[in-house]
Amino acid sequence: MYVPGRLRELIRTIRTARTQAEEREMIQKECAAIRSSFREEDNTYRCRNVAKLLYMHMLGYPAHFGQLECLKLIASQKFTDKRIGYLGAMLLLDERQDVHLLMTNCIKNDLNHSTQYVQGLALCTLGCMGSSEMCRDLAGEVEKLLKTSNSYLRKKAALCAVHVIRKVPELMEMFLPATKNLLNEKNHGVLHTSVVLLTEMCERSPDMLAHFRKLVPQLVRILKNLIMSGYSPEHDVSGISDPFLQVRILRLLRILGRNDDDSSEAMNDILAQVATNTETSKNVGNAILYETVLTIMDIKSESGLRVLAINILGRFLLNNDKNIRYVALTSLLKTVQTDHNAVQRHRSTIVDCLKDLDVSIKRRAMELSFALVNGNNVRGMMKELLYFLDSCEPEFKADCASGIFLAAEKYAPSKRWHIDTIMRVLTTAGSYVRDDAVPNLIQLITNSVEMHAYTVQRLYKAILGDYSQQPLVQVASWCIGEYGDLLVSGQCEEEEPIQVTEDEVLDILESILISNMSASVTRGYALTAIMKLSTRFTCTVNRIKKVVSIYGSSIDVELQQRAVEYNALFKKYDHMRPALLERMPVMEKVTTNGPTEIVQTNGETEPAVLETKPPPSGLQPAGGSMLNLQKSLCLDVMEMTSVMLRMVSRFCKSPDHYFFSAGIPSITAYNKNGLKIDFTFERSNTNPSVTVITIQASNSTELDMTDFVFQAAVPKTFQLQLLSPSSSVIPAFNSGTITQVIKVLNPQKVSDSENS
Amino acid sequence: TVRVSWPCGGCSGRLRQQTWKIHFILLFSRQGKLRLQKWYTTLPDKEKKKIVREIVQIILARHQKTSSFVDWKDLKLVYKRYASLYFCCAIEDQDNELLTLEVVHRYVELLDRYFGNVCELDIIFNFEKAYFILDEFIIGGEVQDTSKRSAVKAIEDSDMLQEVRLRKTKGKHLIFLHLPCLTGA
């Protein structure tokens, strides 16, 4: 009889394979043997075979044919079988396979087994991978075990309960009674898992949170005992007693103390004690301090305690251990808004962290630095951040550049400094600057009227040597186009004006146009700049005309269109040219506001506004306030328009369809909140491609609807004509209607999709 | 890549529903060979393989002088090398990284206590024991016992349970083997 080889032998054999192919061959052979062994329903060696299968699975080979075998092992009475069976289930099965449900009954039996280690296996498996269905079926068993006096099982049941709650939150209530005495336990395992369970319940339910607040004194006591107690070899880590439990208690206290003055007060002393007495020479002490700081910052702690916390973070920053520094920066980032001044004190240390080797530390230091920039320190901080921009990894450059622009805009001490800073960013990290920065910068430059000459000069010098950085070149081209006259006339006040001729300027712009490195957008900027210079330069207008006419046959469609239009400007509309190309005025910052809703239909956007006047005070219309009515009307316009278009397209699509003779039946396109709009359709007598839609709007509310305006949009292939409405007021109580005629033309009679 | 949240919203790190569990644990060699994988979330096999490949690559590429923490998607990887094995834990963004280092260290201590001067070969040849020990230490991504002794004791007791049952079935064979000796042959 073939006796399957042992697991260790298989492992040894596979490790002797010298190539991937050799390994694969061995594995395939073994898998085949295992498969036939499974087919023979061999009970004796099933365990060994599954164990081997699990090893091969870890190497990356498929093992799904062992899933059912795991279930058979779990059902076996042998402990060895169960051990491997449950392990296999956890490795090979999950809730996505229906087969996993077959485990439920076995687990249920094992949860009630006489041997605690079997019960332990079942609890562990349920707690690691139990699906929602399994959890629902077995929650009762778990709850029972949560009340057992066997601490080995109790701690596992607690974590199992946590998993059940995570999978099926509604079942949380049933575990409430069992939590009554959990914290009275002496066993650390049970204590720890109980705190985890309580934490989970409090995080998920405000009611539970309120209910468990009364535990604060007990938690404080337990924590105190841990700190004050003598050396306990079982739970000691570098002189600290059970740091895992300490941290979890601190976390639960955090959740309980949040937004609650009394609880926060009750834990004040213990927090101060932990913060001052914890040994900081090893990582474990710092782990506790870290959690303490997080708790202090999150609850309603008194200011003394908060300062203590920030100082701990400050000390962390100076620690040699990188992990500690990392953690400090993360926490400071969280508190910088609320405790800004306290964090400012550590600014220089934070800035030093910009030079750290670790990428995560650098990123946090950068974010924190930006958060700390204010009117007082902006010059110094920007210097450091610009230096950082120069030397940092590419992954940071875009964010850093954006950050510098934002900070400069907020805190620039002078316009000159602002322009210089922008220049520095553009020249240092010009290719990493985000696309949206370019229009912002252009606006900024336009609005700094007295700096125009200086700016254009600096930009010109910057691109003379190198015009590969697109955002820089775009901004520079635009400026040269606008202020080229200042450039050639040498009007700069801020620095030594340079001598440059009109031809030299055109040289550089033409180089940009020709260069392979220039993006299409950049070329567009350059061409427009050249065109603008035709009104600012005096001697080179002919050259400009020539350049423009050349690009009239460019393969780039965008450039071609521009060139053709500019050509036309030269030829037919030369009298308009100076006015069209004159200096840009100071731009308003664009803000979005107003009640306008944009209705999008097939790529066309038309604002569709239904305005209603607010009711006179004291009068409340039935069915909600006017403001809600307005909002809901706006949102429903989209719905209505799409309905209308669908009807129209169907009509236009099939002139020979029976609809043609019967006509489209009228529809109620909209009927909500008292406003009803009906559509009636007919074909135009003069032109069969035109559909005439008559809309009738009526109002059943108690108030007149005034300033009623109906607008609509159609797909690009259609044409729309809105005739004047009969009125702009829909009287209340259905006592009258507004009528409006809309004509829709479908010129090609092409069928549009039903969804238009 | 990390999302840049600037300016910081001033939150104290609180999300609406915070879980602090470990998402998965990976053990792998310096050549990138997987020695143990424990997942506490449900993912398709293909996805798991992809994640393992990605993370192994990231961590093996890390410079020695960097911190033990890597931002990865919306999680944090906490890793530490012990001799020839990397231990990697994926935790939630808001979790306590320093404590997770202690969790990793505790697991190594448990392995050491069970195997006696544990080395990578122990874990290769006895991978199922490594899983059993882990399952006595962590359930559902949460630590279940903080005592160094009891987790190992539970495994040793379980091993005994296996032995006893095994000896019971092997007993017949032992008697059979004795017989030839009795005849003096």
Dump pLDDT digits (tens) for A287-319: 999 999 999 999 998 888 998 999 899 999 989
Strand bridging mode A690-699 / A240-241:
unpaired
CB contacts of A251 in chain B (<8 Å) are 20
| Contact predicate B139/A156, CB 8 Å | yes
> Which pLDDT does position A626 carry in this prediction?
44
Indicate the pLDDT class of residue A631, thresholds 50, 70 and 90.
very low
CA distances, B53 to each of A63, A86, A606, B32, B33 (Å): 19, 26, 50, 8, 10
3-state secondary structure of A318: coil
- Find which of B22, B36, B67, B92 to mutate to test the A interface (most A CBs within 10 Å of its CB): B67
**Alpha carbon separation from A7 to A43, A49, B121 (Å, rounded):** 16, 8, 14
Give the mutation candidate from A124, A131, A191 for the B interface (greatest B CB count, under 10 A): A124
pLDDT tier, A450 (very low <50, low <70, confident <90, very high otherwise): confident
* Domain residue spans of chain A: 205-301, 434-632, 648-755
Residues 100-159 of A with CB under 8 A from B: 115, 117, 120, 123-124, 127-129, 152, 155-156, 159
Write the burial class of residue B174 (CB in 10 Å: 0-12 exposed, 13-18 middle, 19+ buried).
exposed
What pLDDT, on the 0 to 100 scale, is given for residue A590? 56
As a whole number of angstroms, the distance between CA A178 and CA A145 comes to: 9
Examine the pLDDT at A587 and tell me if it is beyond 80.
no
pLDDT digits (tens, 9 = 90+) for A651-680: 444 334 333 334 567 888 888 888 888 888
Segment among A13-27, A568-582, A710-724, B60-74 with least mean pLDDT:
A710-724
For the stretch A158-206, pLDDT in tens is 999 999 999 999 999 999 999 988 999 899 999 999 999 999 999 999 9
Distance, in angstroms, between B30 CA and closest chain A CA?
Answer: 15
| Cα–Cα distance for residue pair A61/A53, rounded to 1 Å | 9
- pLDDT at A619 exceeding the cut of 70: no
Examine the pLDDT at A116 and tell me if it is beyond 80: yes
Please give the average per-residue pLDDT across A487-500, as a whole number. 83
Interface of B with A in 84-123 (CB under 8 A): 96-99, 101-103, 106
Beta-strand runs (E) in A358-427 = none
* Binary contact (B147, A327; C-beta < 8 A): no
Among the residue ranges A97-106, A581-590, B75-84, B129-138, the one predicted with the least confidence is: A581-590
Question: Does pLDDT of A611 surpass 60?
Answer: no
> Residue B69 and residue A162: Cβ atoms within 8 Å?
no
Write B103-110 long-range contacts (CB < 8 A, 24+): B103/A244, B103/B22, B103/B138, B103/B143, B104/B78, B104/B80, B105/B80, B106/A237, B106/A244, B106/B137, B106/B146, B106/B148, B107/B133, B107/B134, B107/B137, B107/B138, B108/B82, B109/B148, B110/B136, B110/B137, B110/B148, B110/B151, B110/B152
Structure tokens at A508: 């550089």
pLDDT > 90 in chain A, percent: 48
Range A406-419 average pLDDT = 89
Could B143 and A192 be called an inter-chain contact, meaning their C-beta atoms sit closer than 8 Å? Answer: yes
pLDDT band at A1 (very low <50, low <70, confident <90, very high): low
**Could you tell me which chain B residue has the CA closest to the CA of A91?**
B38
> What's the ipTM?
0.84
Average pLDDT score over residue span A554-575 = 89
Q: What is the DSSP letter of A730?
A: B
For residue range B109-156, what is the model confidence (pLDDT) as tens digits?
999 999 999 999 999 999 999 999 999 999 999 999 999 899 999 999
> Is the confidence at residue B176, as pLDDT, over 60?
no
Tokens in use for A159?
Answer: 């974590």
Q: Where are the strands (E) in chain B, listed by range?
A: 22-29, 34-39, 69-72, 75-82, 85-92, 138-139, 142-143
Going by C-alpha positions, the residue among A294, A389, A380 that lies closest to residue A332 is A294
State pLDDT tens for residues B13-72: 444 467 789 999 999 999 999 999 999 999 999 999 999 999 999 999 998 888 999 999
Tokens of A256: 């309980």
Is the model's pLDDT at A554 over the cut of 60? Answer: yes
Contact A83 B132 (CB under 8 A): yes
| Cβ–Cβ contact A322 with B under 8 A | yes
Per-residue pLDDT tens over the stretch A64-74:
999 999 999 99
The 3-state secondary structure of A226-268, one letter per residue? HHHCCCCCCCEECCEECHHHHHHHHHHHHHHHCCCHHHHHHHH
Pairwise CA distance, residues A532 & A479, whole Å: 10
pLDDT value, residue A621? 37
Chain B: give the shortest CA distance to residue A406, in Å. Answer: 10
Query: pLDDT category, A615, cuts 50, 70, 90?
Result: very low
- The pTM assigned to this predicted structure is 0.72
Structure confidence at residue A748 (pLDDT): 59
Instruction: Show residues of chain B in contact with A7, CB under 8 Å.
Output: 128
Say whether B97 and A326 touch across the interface (CB within 8 A): yes
Q: What DSSP assignment string belongs to A273-308?
A: HHHHHS--SSHHHHHHHHHHHHHHHHTT--HHHHHH
Q: Would you state the CATH architecture of domain A648-755?
A: Sandwich (2.60)
- The 10s digit of each residue's pLDDT in A674-706 is 888 888 888 777 777 788 888 888 888 887 887
Q: Looking at residue B96, what is its pLDDT?
A: 95
Q: Which of A11, A84, A204 sits opposite B125 (nearest CB)?
A: A11
B162 to A60: CB separation less than 8 angstroms, yes or no: no
Report the residue from B65, B135, B150 with minimal CB separation from A357. Answer: B65
Least confident of A107-111, A238-242, A605-609, B78-82: A605-609
pLDDT at A702: 80
- B64 at interface of A, judged by CB pairs closer than 8 A: no
Residue A492 pLDDT exceeds 70: yes
Can you tell me the distance from the alpha carbon of A179 to that of A172, in angstroms, rounded to the nearest whole number? 11
Which is more confidently placed, A248 or A616?
A248
Residue A588 has pLDDT above 80, yes or no: no
Please enumerate in sequence order all residues whose Cβ is within 8 A of that of B106, keeping only pairs 6 or more positions apart, or say none. Answer: A237, A244, B137, B146, B148
Q: What is the pLDDT of residue B17?
A: 61
Helix then strand then coil, % of chain B, to nearest 5: 45, 20, 30
> In this complex, which of B67, B148, B162 lies closest to A326 when CB atoms are compared?
B67
The rounded distance, in Å, linking the Cα atoms of A299 and A268 is: 10
Mean pLDDT of chain A: 84
Tokens for A420, please give them. Answer: 């210089």
User: Which of the listed ranges A434-438, A706-710, B107-111 does the model predict with the highest average pLDDT?
Assistant: B107-111
A196 touches chain B (CB under 8 A): yes
pLDDT of residue B167: 52
Band (A601; pLDDT cuts 50, 70, 90): very low
What confidence score (pLDDT) does residue A183 get?
Answer: 92
Residues of B within 8 A of A160 (CB-CB) are 139-140
What's the helix, strand, coil split of chain A in %, to 5?
65, 5, 30
pLDDT in the model for residue A495: 81
Q: At residue A592, what is the residue type?
A: T
